[in-house]
Amino acid sequence: MRYYFLLFVCCVFFNSCRSSGNEVRISVEHLNLDSVGLQLSHYMTGQEILDTMIPVADYVAVSGLPADMYIVTLRWPRTYIPHHYLKNRSFQDGLGTQYMVNKTFYIDSEQQPEYKFSFDHGLQVEEIEMNEVGEVNIDYGACENCKIADRYWKVYTDFLNRKDSAITKLSENYYSALAKKDTSSRRQYQQIEAYKSDVNTDDLFLNQFDQLTSSYSNNPVSSFFVYFQSNMDSKNNRYRANFEQLKGDAVSSPYYQKIAEKQRDK
């Protein structure tokens, strides 16, 4: 049995958007469950598109999705419950009974109508839960724009991993100073909190972002990420140089228009 959704796209975020009449089919494969919960939302607005249960190896079909960035959440009732969850209030309230995995991804139905989610082949649900696996694979098929989007997201992921490592190191220094009753511990704690709340990226990220924008300057995916970065880059407005590089199909993206509006307002 297939599940079909006709989406009348409500363009809350943009005055207009390119809606595709092509059907998008989303499936979950290679999972030893009968069915999973699947929620699909627009990444920038958070607008929920669908929330349903689908049989594993079957698909849900959605029509009318514009080429854009989305986030999917897969969920199922836990089969393995860690001991510390039993003492957790959220579990007692029912919030911890579901295992959930998120994936942000680009959809372009003109390039690829099918999007297949899976975990590493042979990985059982119990193993996923016990190891707290948070990565889900996706087969993009012929969608080159989707693969480009993943290259951009990897740059963000790598930066966040570097930041986590730096916070771990700072925390080790803080606890060491605290154990020694070093008066610098207060300053180190403040440094950690400031670093956690700082949304600005490092030079390596910026250089890699520049390289991607230069390589894909005529791609609408780049327009999305330059707009996304314009909201993150409060330090030096470096995104403006990336914006100047955009051309071709990137200029027709509604995200390009949003950046242009932002430029005019300044």
With contact defined as beta carbons under 8 Å apart, do 14 and 258 qualify? yes
d(CA 188, CA 180): 13
> Virtual CA dihedral for 84, 89, 95, 99, nearest 10 degrees?
-10
Q: pLDDT above 90 covers what percent of the chain?
A: 69
pLDDT attached to residue 13? 44
CA 198 vs. chain centroid, Å, equals 19
Q: What is the pLDDT of residue 20?
A: 52
Q: How confident is the model at residue 233 (pLDDT cuts 50, 70, 90)?
A: confident
108: which 2 tokens? 């372009």
Q: What is the pLDDT of residues 141-150, one digit of tens each?
A: 999 999 999 9
The domain 3-142 having CATH identifier 1.20.58: the answer here is no
pTM score of the predicted model: 0.84
Mean pLDDT over residues 108-134, rounded? Answer: 92
The pLDDT, as a whole number, for residue 155 is 97
Query: Taking the domains of the chain in order of start, what are their residue ranges?
Result: 3-142, 148-265
What tens digit of pLDDT does each residue of 47-97 get? 999 999 999 999 999 999 999 999 999 999 998 876 666 666 665 555 578
pLDDT tens, 74-88? Answer: 999 998 876 666 666
Q: What is the pLDDT of residue 113?
A: 96
At 6, is the pLDDT very low, low, confident or very high (cuts 50, 70, 90)? very low
Do residues 125 and 96 make contact, with C-beta atoms less than 8 angstroms apart?
A: no
Q: Does residue 12 carry a pLDDT above 50? A: no
